[in-house]
Amino acid sequence: MDLILDGGFIRKKSYLVKGGPGTGKSTFGYHFLEEGNKHNEPTMLISLGESEENIRSHSEAQNIDLSGTTILNLGPGNQDAKSTQNYSVFSPLEVEAEPIINNIIEAIEEYKPSRVMLDSITMVKYLYENQYQYKNMALSLIHQICSSGATLFIIAETHQSNAEEEAEFWVDGVMEVKAGPGWRRLQVHKYRGSDFRPGDHAIKITGNGVVVYPRLQPSDYDKDFRNIPLSSGIDDLDNMLEGGIEKGSITIITGPTGAGKTNLGIQFMKEASSRGERSVMYTFEEARDVIVKRSQMIGVPVQSMIENKQMVIKSIEPFSFSPDEFAMMIREDVEENDTRLVMIDSVGGYSLTVRQDEALQRLHALCTYLGNVGVTAFLVNEVQSITGEFVTTNLNASYLADNIIYLRYLELNGELKKAIGILKKRFSNFEKTIREFEITGEGIKLGPPLTNLRGILSGVPYQLEPKKQ
């Protein structure tokens, strides 16, 4: 949240958090108060609806410590006498605005809190039949609390009326939390006195309160590195690539199901392991154990790579992560664990997890970030057609790639074979021919260039007649 707000809340200012029921508004406020308690700041929660018992119970259930917070309970039906932790204002038959405001002001003067949470201003609105009076009261209350030296955190329920929208003009910052399809979102609409990160940001309510996943902005990250070629460990493939795949580049491996895309990506991870570099594979398609077993069958020691902490396979359950949460997972692997190679298997699985029209935009931001910090990335893309019309990607993501390696099925003399070719390489030249591609018990092998065939990209090639002498 502090990253989104360019450092956090500005002292002695007022902030409004609005949203529907169950979106986590109050939990944000609890975190705000707890942080003040950690720094020995006096904090106060003014409740106009929920009892102190419920507030403390809910915060404890989320492992948020409000033991140092004074709770001013102004809810209807509260009959407790004035104490150091609680104030009594009115009975159910005496619902009037003036006693509430007076008791809030008295409490602020007595305890001099540096952080105040008001939950919620929507309840205050219900005490006024006259909108003009409500506005004057709210502006006066906000001014008095902030002028006393406190930072004010206001909760508002989102309704069809314009009252909460009008309240946005009275405060210094406005944030909205909403529960959309798939995951909850946070958006900053207004923030006086500082810049902020725009757009929707994913949030998740956990057993430890609210977790915020800021939307990835690749321009915030940069690192100096050399675009040196990284070998695949297969001489013929390195020859096709004129030395290998450049460090910090984005490579799309595309082809139909079963062609060997994942195995080819793991081959680069194997070579990275031999250089002592850490790789992470995020798989949306296959279970970790299946990948390990299949790799061992072709002579790739994935299990030992994992045991040596030079490779990690993370199975990603579709629909379980927002794009912001997934990007944060990759950032942590890169920045905290010094991961140098990342493979996403596959682009289709990623777009299914994102579940929105922004799949390509989110993938673009993620790839740009990886390239900026010098991490080599592989995107596995599955095309639907086995043979026939040649398609690079199903998401129109080709522009993201510095390199595109394609795999194809061929029908030769009644037998199904595989071929490999390079379609694009941004940082160097590459071999324009196509070679036979074979996965054996000893690993991946490439044949000589198929210069005597035509129509390979169609999947049904024909052999050229030898030239007559």
pLDDT beyond 90 at 390: no
The token duo for 317 is 């359950």
Query: Quick one: 251 and 399 in the same domain?
Result: yes
235 and 209 co-located in one domain: no
Distance separating alpha carbons of residues 63 and 87, to the nearest angstrom = 25
Q: Is 244 in the same domain as 345?
A: yes
Residue 356 belongs to a domain with what CATH number? 3.40.50.300
For the chain, what is the mean pLDDT? 87
**Does pLDDT of 239 surpass 80?**
yes
Q: Is residue 9 in some structural domain?
A: no
208: Cβ contacts below 8 Å, ≥ 6 apart:
62, 63, 64
437 or 450, higher pLDDT:
437
Largest CA distance in the chain: 112
Residue 79 shares a structural domain with residue 191: yes
Does 271 lie in the same domain as 128? Answer: no
**Last residue of some domain: 214, 232, 263?**
214
8, part of any domain: no
Strands 339-345 and 376-382: parallel
Work out whether strand 443-449 and strand 245-246 pair parallel, antiparallel, or are unpaired.
unpaired
Considering 214, 244, 265, which residue would you say is the last residue of a domain? 214
CB proximity list for 173: less than 8 A, separation 6 or greater: 5, 9, 13, 14, 15, 16, 188, 190, 191, 192
**What is the model's pTM?**
0.83
87-91, 112-116, 295-299, 361-365: least confident range: 87-91
Residue 328: φ, ψ to 5°: -65, -35
- What does the block give as tokens for 444? 């991946």
- For the stretch 417-422, contacts whose Cβ atoms lie closer than 8 Å and that sit 24 or more positions apart, written own/partner, are 418/259, 418/260, 419/450, 419/456, 420/237, 420/240, 420/264, 420/446, 421/456, 422/240, 422/241
The answer on pLDDT for 342 being more than 70 is yes
In a domain, 5, yes or no: no
Confidence of residue 348 (pLDDT cuts 50, 70, 90): confident
Q: Lowest-pLDDT range, 13-17, 59-63, 182-186, 242-246?
A: 182-186
Q: How far is CA 413 from CA 326, 416, 417, 462, 467, in A?
A: 46, 8, 10, 10, 21
- Asked whether residue 79 is domain-assigned, the answer is yes
Lowest mean pLDDT among 174-178, 205-209, 349-353, 356-360: 356-360
First and final CA of the chain: distance in angstroms?
Answer: 76
- Same domain for 252 and 194: no
Residue whose pair of structure tokens reads 């850490």 in the numeric block: 278
Same domain, 411 and 427: yes
Residue scoring higher pLDDT (357 or 202): 202
361-374 pLDDT, tens per residue?
889 999 999 999 99
DSSP code string of 212-276: EEPPP-GGG--------EE--S-HHHHHHTTT-EETT-EEEEEESTTSSHHHHHHHHHHHHHHTT
Q: Is residue 278 part of a domain?
A: yes
pLDDT of residue 80: 44
Judgement on whether residues 181 and 320 belong to the same structural domain of the protein: no
Calpha distance 369→346 (Å, rounded): 18
Q: Say yes or no: 89 and 233 in one domain.
A: no
Query: What sign for the dihedral angle of Cα 280, 284, 288, 292?
Result: negative
241 vs 254, 267, 405, CA distance in Å? 16, 15, 10
Final residue of a domain: which of 164, 194, 214? 214
The CA distance from 252 to 259, in Å, is: 14
Clarify whether residues 401 and 274 are in a common domain.
Answer: yes
Q: Is residue 425 part of a domain?
A: yes
- The pLDDT of residue 132 is above 90: no
Range of the domain at 193: 14-214
Say yes or no to pLDDT of 120 above 90.
no
Does some domain include residue 187?
yes
Structural domain tally of the chain? 2
**pLDDT at position 129:** 66
**In the prediction, which pLDDT does 459 show?**
56
Per-residue pLDDT for 15 more than 60?
Answer: yes
The amino acid at residue 178 is K
Residue 271 sits in the same domain as residue 369:
yes
**Residue 176, strand partner residues:** 18, 187
Does 264 share its domain with 191?
no
Look at residue 4 and tell me if it is in a domain. no
Residue 86: per-residue pLDDT: 45
The pLDDT value recorded for residue 157 is 85
* Rounded CA separation 456/459 (Å): 5
The pLDDT tens digits of the residues spanning 246-295 come to: 999 999 999 999 999 999 999 999 999 999 999 999 999 889 999 999 99
* Residue whose C-alpha is closest to residue 116's, from 24, 14, 1, 7: 14
Q: Name which of 236, 232, 245, 229 is nearest 420 in CA terms.
A: 236
HEC string for 385-402: CCCCCCCCCCCCCHHHCC
Count H helices, E strands: the chain?
A: 13, 22
Give per-residue pLDDT as tens, 161-212. 554 566 788 899 999 999 877 789 999 999 998 899 999 999 999 999 999 9
